[in-house]
Amino acid sequence: MTCLPSQSGKKLGLVIDLDTCVGCQACVTACKEWNTGGHMAPLTDIDPYGGHVDGVWFNRVHSYEHTTEMGGRTVNFPRSCLHCETPACVTVCPTGASYKRASDGIVLIDEDKCIGCKLCSWACPYGAREFDTDVGVMKKCTLCVDRIYNDNLAEEDRVPACVAACPTSARHFGDLGDPQSAVSQLVAERGGVDLMPELGYRPTNKYLPPRAHTTRAASVAAPALEPVRAEGGFLGWVDRMLSN
């Protein structure tokens, strides 16, 4: 049933550090590479070398300019399924294809039951679900359910592909239901936030806001060029002649 299960308390999810993400898109390509052969395979690409490229991706990295009174900065922002605690994408599903696992809170789609009505993608405020027009079913992030429990992989590789690929350790994976876990501690320490908390979906994934601007650091910028003053005399005459 697409009714939400009573939870075991385990809430697997990601913590994404907006301070250290450099927007390199490595997580995006690693996700695509793993998942196009994984649980929800294939992640179809339509017209991949043509003028109207389209295709299914579970993870997309946006770039924003965040301007406050402290100044402006570029923030790279990875966006994927947040594995919400009250995911409307699951409850709106008419067929039971969408479900939330009681054991670890991962939100998944049973592709064999999906009728491709697209209502779940309308119900998700974060744009986490993408429709595969080629197969006719909806697809979404699986939190690499086929990696994290995979006994065939070395233990250190049993993390989502995006986490394994991140070169700046901006992505962290763990149990957010356990207040003692490393990810929960990180969220507490850095003031991790929910996206669109006002909508009440209670996302499991948390985002760590960029650290505050500091005034302590030495200025590394080159000094500003001095303006050229209009001069009299010979140099002034040369300046006027060359300026014409």
Partner 1 sequence: MHPAFSVVFFTTATGAGYGLLALLGVLGGFQIIPLDFWLGFIGMGLALGLIVAGLLSSTGHLGRPERAWRAFSQWRSSWLSREGVASVTTFIPAGLFGIGWVFFGSSGGWVTVAGLLTACGAVVTVCTTGMIYASLKPIAQWHSRFTLPGYLIFSAMTGSVILNALLQGFGRGSTAILAFSLLLVLLGWGWKLATWRYNDALEIPTNANTATGLAGGTVRTLEWPHTEENYLLKEMGFRIARKHSARLRQITQCVAFALPVFLLAATFTLPWPFATAASLLAAIVQFAGMLVERWLFFAEAKHTVTLYYGR
Contact positions vs partner 1 (CB under 8 A): 1-4, 18, 25, 28, 52-57, 60-69, 74-75, 77, 79, 88, 90-97, 113-119, 121-127, 130-133, 135-138, 193-201, 207, 209-210
Burial degree of 209 (CB within 10 A; 0-12, 13-18, 19+)? middle
The phi and psi torsions of 131 (rounded to 5 degrees) equal -85, 135
Q: Which CB atom, from 118 or from 240, has the smaller least distance to partner 1?
A: 118
CB of 43 to partner 1, least distance (A): 12
> Beta strands 130-132 and 107-109: pairing type?
unpaired
CB of 18 to partner 1, least distance (A): 7
Kindly state the tokens that stand for 193: 């936030």
Q: Which CB atom, from 67 or from 214, has the smaller least distance to partner 1?
A: 67
The enclosing H or E element of 98 equals strand 98-100
CB of 96 to partner 1, least distance (A): 5
Q: What is the CA radius of gyration of the chain?
A: 24
Q: Which CB atom, from 42 or from 55, has the smaller least distance to partner 1?
A: 55
Count H helices and E strands in the chain, helices first. 7, 11
Q: Which CB atom, from 123 or from 153, has the smaller least distance to partner 1?
A: 123
CB of 53 to partner 1, least distance (A): 5
